Chain A
Amino acid sequence: MSIIQVTDLVKKYNGLTAVNGISFTVNEGEFFGFLGPNGAGKTTTINILCTLLAQTSGKADVNGFDCLKQPSQVRSSIGLVFQDITLDNELTAYENLKFHCYLYNMERAKAEEGIEAILHVVGLYDRKDDLVKKFSGGMKRRLEVARGLLHHPKVLFLDEPTLGLDPQTRAHVWEFINNWRKKEGITVFLTTHYMDEAEVCDRIAIIDHGKIITCGTPEELKKMIKGDTIYLKTEDDKAAGAEIEKNFGIKTIKLHDSICFNVEAGDKFIPKIFDGLKTAIFSVNLKKPTLDDVFMHLTGREIREDNNSSRVGETLRLRRKKG
């Protein structure tokens, strides 16, 4: 069953087309990734889906409700974690969550119970009465994800949720989101330009210049790139190369202390190497094509071409741009 349905969605801002006729569906319980470079139209799409923005034309439904005509029902069905922090720094963690519960018209007892439980889950229970302004970036993020889930939404929107976080904190945030997803079975809609984050999605749509250029499972997308690369270190590279060419009909490339070759379904090919080679093998290394390669294959550009600065710098820039 589809929970998000988007048909021919267009959004124009004074002559500029941010979203140019996109269509896609997201199924209930799915982890859907929306991948593309900055300015591709990801945030515009999310803003339309969460009723913050009216589309120029086309239709968007979330949980069976029309985003334009039934904004209130849509808003009750969704949880959001925005690109930039939207907590009140002058309130405590607990007060921020309580504010949220009351906005979503939760009963007091239920709200208090939910807040306590989720603070334990994100590991912020000990800090619940501290002002949010004393929190680190990672703690704020965890608190925001917790807040987005408090009212048990059907769909959780994550707009670049780990922007500006260090790798360890990113992993921590993801661990929590994944656990929650397994437990509650909610749908997650993620926008990101980090390829490694998109890898774990059930399905991915790649968006560029306001258009979806491809959509499918990460496996399907990566199949567009022919084959994997296998690196071998052996006792005698020359002999090993000859053997591979003879037994499998694959040409190898000699590197300075190893050999490599391209083959489809490389993981399944590795066992065959051991059967087919008499030369002793020291190590086998497999490089799968990444989504970066897919994006490059489809657009001829790297996804993070214009993002050479550090992630922290990036967040700061975004903050300033907002003003």
Chain B
Amino acid sequence: MFSYKAIYVIVSREFKRFFRQRGRLIVTFARPILWLFVVGAGFARLVNIPSDMNYKQFLLPGIIGMTILFNSIFSSISVVWDREFGFLREMLVAPISRTTIVMGKLLSGTALSVLQGAALLIFSPLLGLKMNLLEFLAMLFFMTLLSVAITALGLFIAAFLTSLEGFNVIMNFIVLPMFFLSGALYPMNVLPPALHYFTLINPLSYGIDAFKHVLFKNNTAFGAEFPLLLDMGLLALFAVAMTILAARFFERKG
């Protein structure tokens, strides 16, 4: 059913494109730094934070989540670019299944997201959040789960988008609300109940919550809000469900 050579070459293409598009590369690394040290610096003065941590520390798991969110969505929406510029047809007429294409895109989107998330862990010791090897591996594991979930969500959305005009709508009505309602910038339990419900159906919430478990060791009032097992289970469930949906709809819509 899968052609491994095809998956390999799709992934290798996405990597080449990622490292060749300098603008995207710069934004990728500048954006989290901007949030951590510029937005973070401002908010730190406003937010009444428990004395055992500072706001930049609080922001780190959220910013890792944001980086994964943006990259995963951007990677999967590249299907729409491929469609717009005709390259998708080159893949669609090849003797490979649609599922192979989805797997290639899923794998490349996930790998690039985890790579960027992992790069941000450099800030962890700088911000005074120490990690041992096991915790580092745990972070990689949760980042992978979250990346698969969001990339598959993006691919599912991309199956319905026939032109790039839909991209702005996705950005403003799905991606940004997901970011704001995920516990990335403030604990979810400070939100009014109506908005709090949204955080519960947002996969990013569980990803960032899992990061907080690992990074904060969960001994602070601003730490994780769900049990770690719940985070893991829901993320895995969401990842699998979205992958199946994306493959199904891609098969139909091509």
Contact = CB atoms under 8 A, between A and B. Distances in A.
B86 A85 contact: yes
B45 interface: no
A105 B254 contact: no
A56 to B, nearest CB: 17
Contacts of B96: 103
B51 interface: no
B48 interface: no
Nearest to A80: B93
B95 A72 contact: yes
A50 B93 contact: yes
Contact of B87 (A50, A73, A87, A322): A87
15 contacts: A52-B93, A75-B93, A82-B89, A85-B86, A86-B86, A86-B87, A86-B90, A87-B87, A88-B13, A89-B85, A98-B9, A99-B9, A102-B8, A103-B3, A103-B5
Interface of B: 3, 5-6, 8-9, 13, 16-17, 20-21, 84-87, 89-97, 163-164, 254
A318 to B, nearest CB: 11
A102 B9 CA distance: 6
A99 B13 contact: yes
A180 B9 CA distance: 27
A132 to B, nearest CB: 10
Interface residues of A, number: 28
A323 B84 contact: yes
Contact of B3 (A50, A88, A105): A105
Contacts, number: 70
A199 B96 CA distance: 36
A95 interface: yes
B163 A95 contact: no
A322 B6 CA distance: 26
Contacts of A322: 84, 86
Contact of B94 (A73, A87, A103): A103
A174 interface: no
B82 to A, nearest CB: 8
A295 to B, nearest CB: 29
Given A95-B16, A105-B6, A323-B163, A100 B90 contact: yes
A75 B16 contact: no
A320 to B, nearest CB: 11
Scoring A76, A100, A102 by chain B CB atoms within 10 A of each residue's CB, the highest score goes to: A102
A44 interface: no
Nearest to A131: B20
Contacts of A323: 84, 163-164
A80 B21 CA distance: 29
Nearest to A83: B86
Contact of A90 (B5, B21, B91, B97): B21
A80 B91 CA distance: 11
Given A85-B86, A105-B5, A91 B13 contact: yes
Contacts of A95: 13, 16
A89 B13 CA distance: 11
Interface in A26-65: 50-52
Contacts of B95: 72-73, 75-76, 103-105
Contacts of A90: 16-17, 20-21
A282 B142 CA distance: 89
B80 to A, nearest CB: 11
Contacts of A99: 9, 13, 90
B89 A104 contact: no
Contacts of A78: 93
Given A52-B92, A80-B93, A91-B16, 4 more contacts: A86-B90, A89-B85, A90-B21, A91-B13
Nearest to A75: B95
A84 interface: yes
B83 to A, nearest CB: 9
Nearest to A99: B9
Contact of A52 (B20, B84, B254): B254
Contacts of A89: 85
Contacts of A84: 86
Nearest to B164: A323
8 nearest A-B residue pairs (beta carbon): A102-B9, A103-B94, A86-B86, A75-B95, A76-B95, A102-B5, A86-B90, A72-B95
